[in-house]
């Protein structure tokens, strides 16, 4: 094993990032070499600084943490990934695992647990905190495909039917961004953004912006804690 691993922190809450940085740098094995508060910057920084490990919040503005993982793990020098979240939702845990994330830790876990997850992941192992592991086990043991988890993680959403770009547009719309701003951020035409919006509404059987926002919040694309 290497003596010291570089870490990228991606979380849209400044206090959370500052606390995580202090925790991580108290451990001789790790040093934080990059920080960001949104998904687009997380993708950019992963390509620029090529960290060994990325700690990524699921709910970030612009592009969700799950979409960040799917994007950056295609890179030749992709980092190991530990996801962090306020809550465990079966579909998100499974999607994170299938996308290549090796760790998933809830934000109410102890600092020691996060460090344990980081050590496990850079060592080539997987790590899921206790609440996440219980939720994941219940879901994987379901025999009819319906969510059987008894924890407070909601019903299984339909995000899987959307493409990566559609999920990005959905999240930005739910965050209140105008079509013109989304087009600028994603380097698309306004007409293309409008097409994506119509396609999303049709696929999810949504009929208004309010329903779209509600769906995004329920599926943790938008952080309900602000």
CB-CB contact of 78 with 72 (8 Å): yes
Residue ranges matching CATH 3.40.50.2300 in the chain = 5-140
Q: Are 129 and 87 in contact (CB under 8 A)?
A: no
CB 61 within 8 A of CB 38: yes
Instruction: In the chain, list all ranges with CATH 1.10.10.10.
Output: 159-218
Tens digits of residue pLDDT in 82-102: 999 887 677 777 778 888 889
178 or 222, higher pLDDT:
178
Q: How many CA atoms lie within 13 A of 118 on its CB side?
A: 29
Q: What pLDDT digit, counting tens, does each position of 114-157 carry? A: 999 999 999 999 888 776 666 655 655 554 444 444 444 444 44
Task: Quote the Cα angle for 150-155-158, to 5°.
Answer: 145
159-218 in CATH: which number? 1.10.10.10
Tell me the C-alpha distance between 71 and 46, whole Å: 10
- Strand-pairing partners, residue 4, are none
Question: What percentage of residues in the chain have a pLDDT greater than 70?
Answer: 84
pTM of the model as a whole: 0.65
Pairwise CA distance, residues 68 & 47, whole Å = 12
- In angstroms, the Cα distances linking 79 to 2, 8, 39, 75, 129 are 14, 9, 15, 9, 20
Rounded to an integer, what distance in angstroms lies between the CA atom of residue 142 and that of residue 101?
22
CATH topology of domain 5-140: Rossmann fold (3.40.50)
Q: What is the CA radius of gyration of the chain?
A: 17
């Amino acid at each position: 094993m290497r003596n010291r691993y570089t870490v990228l922190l991606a979380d849209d809450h400044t206090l959370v990032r500052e606390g995580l940085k202090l925790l991580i740098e108290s451990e001789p094995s790790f040093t934080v070499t990059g920080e960001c508060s949104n998904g687009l910057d997380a993708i950019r920084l992963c390509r620029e600084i090529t960290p060994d490990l990325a700690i990524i919040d699921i709910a970030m503005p612009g592009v969700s943490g799950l979409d960040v993982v799917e994007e950056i793990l295609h890179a030749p020098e992709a980092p190991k990934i530990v996801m962090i979240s306020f809550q465990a939702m079966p579909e998100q845990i499974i999607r994170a695992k299938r996308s290549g994330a090796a760790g998933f830790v809830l934000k109410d876990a102890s600092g020691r647990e996060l460090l344990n997850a980081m050590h496990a992941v850079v060592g080539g192992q997987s790590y899921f905190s206790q609440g996440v592991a219980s939720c994941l086990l219940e879901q994987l043991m379901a025999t009819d495909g319906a969510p059987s988890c008894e924890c407070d993680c909601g019903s299984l959403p339909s995000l899987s039917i959307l493409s990566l770009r559609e999920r990005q547009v959905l999240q930005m719309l739910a965050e209140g961004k105008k079509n013109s701003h989304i087009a600028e951020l994603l380097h698309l035409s306004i007409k293309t953004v409008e097409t994506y919006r119509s396609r999303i509404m049709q696929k999810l059987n949504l009929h208004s912006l309010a329903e779209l926002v509600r769906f995004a919040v329920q599926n943790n694309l938008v952080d309900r804690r602000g």
